[in-house]
Amino acid sequence: MVAVIATYNIAPTLIGNDVASTMSFDVWVDRWSLTADGAPIRTAYSDLLPVVRNGVPAMLKIARTEEERRGASLSNWYAGDGAVRALEIEGPALLMERPRGNQSLAELSHSGHDDQATKILCATVQKLHTERDRPPPEDLVPLDVWFRSLASTVHPLLARSLAVARELLADTRRPIALHGDIHHGNVLYDNDRGWLAIDPKGLRGEPLLRRCSSAGSTSSRRWRPLTATACSSGCSRTPDCPPRGVWKTVTVSNCGLRLSKSRRASWEDKPPKTRFTVR
């Protein structure tokens, strides 16, 4: 069993001259004939505004990081297959489908049905990994680059994560486009189209690595004990479903990555609030 409880806050990397333009939605509302349909939402990475176009709910998202721009490009490439549809994309702006449903994976998990929620996560990832007849975006970040922050500290909590990540990345067999941030809060339900992924990070690498790593997270940003039975049952129909040991191994590396990206100051001065146990 792997159990990790962590708090984190990843600071964004701002995009030079585009930062000022994200403070106002007006140019995009006018250009795409939108009507505001709610209060704006500001996150660490982007600005969002619920809108309506021609009577259809949508979400306007203005990226403030390169990561979010890559995500918009990948959303467009998914073409609505397992993810929300990208309706318009230009510069830092993305107009996307807004799921309208009354189900929540987080609520499903917290109400004692986490195995069912995990199966839905895995099924969503399987859709995203479906082969497509067009090449993926060229700016996807390789996983070895994504995991590089593990080597930026000598903190003992990350030593095993770094070793495990290097072992896994050395055995990449079938690199594909990866969402990069599948968790309970990033898979939403739409009454017409079912479960849809949002907010991809735009990565490229071994699909098994990211499928496994999605299984341990929740929208509350707290890691629950990972049961390999629940995770593996979610992909039991796929030929590359991993053994239980692989689930635990990948979770170790991914938890370390999240912790390494979360630190805002030197851990020698301010240790993370983390419990990290492996059995």
Q: What is the pLDDT of residues 125-148, one digit of tens each?
A: 999 999 999 999 999 999 888 877
What would the mean pLDDT of 35-60 be, rounded to a whole number? Answer: 95
Closest CA to 48 of 33, 68, 77: 68
Which of 181, 190, 199, 269 is the catalytic position? Answer: 181
Ranges 102-106, 169-173, 225-229: which has the least confidence: 225-229
Averaged pLDDT score across all residues of the chain = 74
- pTM for the structure as a whole: 0.74
Q: Is 181 a catalytic residue?
A: yes
The sign of the torsion formed by the CA atoms of 81, 257, 170, 232 equals: negative
Quick one: average pLDDT of 11-33? 64
Residue 242 vs residues 130, 208, 212, 229: alpha-carbon distances, Å: 18, 8, 9, 11
Task: Please report the pLDDT score of residue 128 as a whole number.
Answer: 95
- Could you give the percent of the chain with pLDDT greater than 90? 48
Greatest CA separation found in the chain?
56
